[in-house]
């Protein structure tokens, strides 16, 4: 049985380092991408403060389709290049949006979301698996430490589903 740890951290970086270790332990030995995505979403959602959505959009060859997540019901399909998720998928670059109202073309699946970070999930062959999307009801919730931490977490996830 996995136990979610909530130790006190001196810094955000240390919190992410600990979270990366927890993710490694949680995903160890499991290769099913849906099972791992479900547990990964729950781990992050319940470990980081001020989040209102954390989850996956998986690429079906044409568009992004909502996958396992934690939070309120979400938009089901997102076109490549549309919104923060579609932009991350199309550019293959992490999108850190401090104020979603300032992002041209933002898709408001939850009106409470004020900031967002989206990490593209790219397979070793360069093809797109999908994106990891995290929203907050707080403007300016995400910073460069979050970018580095989320990218490190996503590297653990991708390693686990590769086998």
pLDDT in tens, 68-104: 999 999 999 999 999 999 999 999 999 999 999 888 8
pLDDT band at 108 (very low <50, low <70, confident <90, very high): confident
The candidate with the shortest Cα–Cα distance to 37, out of 57, 19, 22, is 57
CA 51 – CA 37 distance, rounded (Å): 17
The residue extents of the domains of the chain are 12-162
What single-letter DSSP state applies at residue 102? G
The dotted CATH code for 12-162 is 3.30.450.40
Tell if the pTM clears 0.75, that is, is over it: yes
Specify the DSSP class assigned to residue 147: H
For 91-128, give the DSSP string. Answer: HTS-EEES-GGGSTT---SSTT--EEEEEEEE-TTS-E
Give the SS3 label for residue 132: strand
Could you read off the pLDDT of 135-147 as tens digits, one per residue? 999 999 999 999 9
Instruction: Strand 115-122: give its sheet, edge to edge.
Output: 77-79, 63-71, 53-59, 128-136, 115-122, 95-97
């Amino acid at each position: 049985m996995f136990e979610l740890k909530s130790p006190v951290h001196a810094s955000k970086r240390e919190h992410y380092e600990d979270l990366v270790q927890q993710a490694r332990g949680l995903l160890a030995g499991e290769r099913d991408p849906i099972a791992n995505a479900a547990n990964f979403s729950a781990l992050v959602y319940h470990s980081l403060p001020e989040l209102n959505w954390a989850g996956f959009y998986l690429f079906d060859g044409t568009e992004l389709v909502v996958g396992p997540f934690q939070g309120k019901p979400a938009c089901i399909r997102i076109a490549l290049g549309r919104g923060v998720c579609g932009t991350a998928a199309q550019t293959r670059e992490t999108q850190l949006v401090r104020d979603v109202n300032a992002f041209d073309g933002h898709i408001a699946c939850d009106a409470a979301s004020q900031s967002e970070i989206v990490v593209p999930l790219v397979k070793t062959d360069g093809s797109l698996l999908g994106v990891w999307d995290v929203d907050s009801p707080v403007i300016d919730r995400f910073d460069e430490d979050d970018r580095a931490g989320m990218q490190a977490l996503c590297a653990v996830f991708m390693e686990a589903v590769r086998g």
